[in-house]
Structure 1
């Protein structure tokens, strides 16, 4: 039987009539910030930086490439984790959970497709014509693939929920490890195929996820040892030159627990934890809007002038752009909600009421969104785009 951890280990904060487990929101906040930072590096820095800062560009590229087995895998583990009870409920009670992310995917596929049909400077996976649009409705290739994947993964997890979780996870891991063998040119389509393992882990083995995150392991939760192991494993895998899918899967075996432990540690940090948790409850507007902000910045006077070849400015450049992209995205979201554009961030219609159930122990955390870790309220008071190649872990400009 799972024994709840003390509050110091699993901090909670009040929220909307229930309690929230803070480390989940913190982990969501970390994940979306890493996504924005990645895009600031691979999309903007390479364009803004002069040749004299090639070393800085390469250094940032190595850092964000090394974080790839943590960024989206962690996001999908959290998505599955908060859906762990829903995958066992009748379809009539959970249809919005499948429909909502696909609805949002279609909305933002069309809107961002229109924006980036005009804005051509930022490196993007662009939907070029109606034929590609039809294909993207069936299998996402653009930067909003995460929303498409959430819908598909939930349906798959629900269909497979009656089978032994170990067999499902083993089969999903084989699919992930062999994804490179399918010769998929579009990186985002490769990502849709590759990441189901992580959603299935959260949805079908939530107790394991919670143990990985919350089990005490000394004052630092085992994070230093995991960090050392992750760095060593990353260096080893780069030397082995494995296929992309095998490289990412093996690295994530350490990377995902590391991300979970870091989130739990940060959840004890007071104001930083509250800030990260606040961001983690508003990931959807950041996710769908930040590339528009990054693209706009390419047409404005530079926030940091890199033409003088300043290494310090080169190092700070992606961090500053990421902060601006997050703040502007959240500001735009605030304005859009006050203009009544709630349909941009939530499936219209009255949400289904969950059935009243007798209290019971559960590994599902009520704190997280009914729609996964990109949760955002439609009320004003609350609240990855890339290249076509999947040839290697350092080649992608996507999340």
Structure 2
């Protein structure tokens, strides 16, 4: 359920930014994603680290196959598809496409940067585990990097500094977070009250002096301040876990659970249908940002699932969503079949 909320927020962000860029207007998606700015990506990484303890003691070969090669395969595949379609074919620029493909090996490309960083975070965590680095020391250094707002010009380094603390915190504090989820299910009224208080505080931190909303960029208020941003991010990540725990079992929420179960499918494939839908709708004159946002968001969320269903039924193109045998490290235990073993897999 939490994975469903996470991927939903990610798709909303990209829809809002792309629609704003094309129309020069803002809509309700912009305000939605502005509220989620402090925690949208931090909670995605934190949830990704929750089950790391289940595999981190395995051999380097098995661990790397499950926690690095798995992500690298889908990153390389879908980044290549996008570069070929957008640059080599649409722009007829083979030279630029080859340059982009080469650069994408060392610098995370496009929306798929998250998968790239997951592989890097997983390997870094394994190395720290093998070196027996104290959790408190690692978390302190990672928090210091986040607070320092590192800007080296290298996207890889900058994103590592900005987000590793959340991934590692998910790994270290997983037992406490699972206890929180259990407590929420038995104290629903109290949990709902905590969630309401958090929402008011988060809104205050975002929409304070300094907040600026334009069609493409969002500037937070006090929530952007170093240190305070870190606290707001962790608070938002905890709020997502509480919200997901409250949603479990409620009628009409099964679709969100399914969305989370197929997070890999949606994450890797939503960009292309989102762009096609936006271009076609703008071409017929639909530029009202709210209606356009709703339609594009629906297409972006459902098209990848439809494509995945077709590949499963006809048996063609399965490699788009399921890592084939040749993409496993030799001698590594094969992971379970299916798209649920995606970028924020539970195991």
Give the structure-1-normalised TM-score: 0.70
Matched pairs, number: 318
Are 2:85 and 1:109 aligned? Answer: no
Are 2:243 and 1:271 aligned? Answer: no
State the shift of 1:301 in Å: 3.8
State the shift of 1:277 in Å: 0.7
State the shift of 1:74 in Å: 1.5
Maintained 8 Å contact 2:205/2:223: no
1:7: which partner in 2? Answer: none
Maintained 8 Å contact 2:205/2:222: no
The Cα offsets for residues 63-87 of structure 1, whole Å up to 9 and x where unpaired, read as: 3133123222122111111222211
Maintained 8 Å contact 1:66/1:234: yes
State the shift of 1:303 in Å: 9.9
Whole-Å separation in 1 of the counterparts to 2:235 and 2:291: 28
The Cα offsets for residues 2-25 of structure 1, whole Å up to 9 and x where unpaired, read as: xxxxxxxxxxxxxxxxxxxxxxxx
Are 2:232 and 1:232 aligned? Answer: no
Change (3 A) 1:84 1:317: farther
SS of the aligned residue for 2:19 comes to: helix
Change (3 A) 1:304 1:267: farther
2:305: which partner in 1? Answer: 330
For structure 2, the residue ranges without an aligned partner over 5 or more in a row are: 212-220
How does 1:1-399 map onto structure 2 within 5 Å? Answer: 26-48=1-23, 54=25, 57=26, 60-97=29-66, 98-117=68-87, 118-119=89-90, 128-161=96-129, 162-178=132-148, 180-184=149-153, 190-216=158-184, 218-219=188-189, 221=191, 222-236=194-208, 238=210, 248-272=229-253, 274-302=254-282, 306=286, 314-337=289-312, 338-349=314-325, 352=333, 370-373=341-344
Give the structure-2-normalised TM-score: 0.80
1:20: which partner in 2? Answer: none
Higher helix share: 2
CA RMSD between the two structures: 3.1
Shifted more, 243-252 versus 26-35: the winner is 243-252
Maintained 8 Å contact 1:282/1:374: no
State the shift of 1:214 in Å: 3.5
State the shift of 1:294 in Å: 1.5
Maintained 8 Å contact 1:286/1:326: yes
Whole-Å separation in 1 of the counterparts to 2:284 and 2:8: 20
Maintained 8 Å contact 1:105/1:147: yes
Maintained 8 Å contact 2:27/2:289: no
Whole-Å separation in 1 of the counterparts to 2:70 and 2:209: 38
Change (3 A) 1:259 1:329: same
Whole-Å separation in 1 of the counterparts to 2:135 and 2:210: 31
For structure 1, the residue ranges without an aligned partner over 5 or more in a row are: 1-25, 121-126, 308-312, 355-367, 377-399
Whole-Å separation in 2 of the counterparts to 1:237 and 1:212: 33
Change (3 A) 1:340 1:168: same
Change (3 A) 1:169 1:116: same
State the shift of 1:32 in Å: 0.8
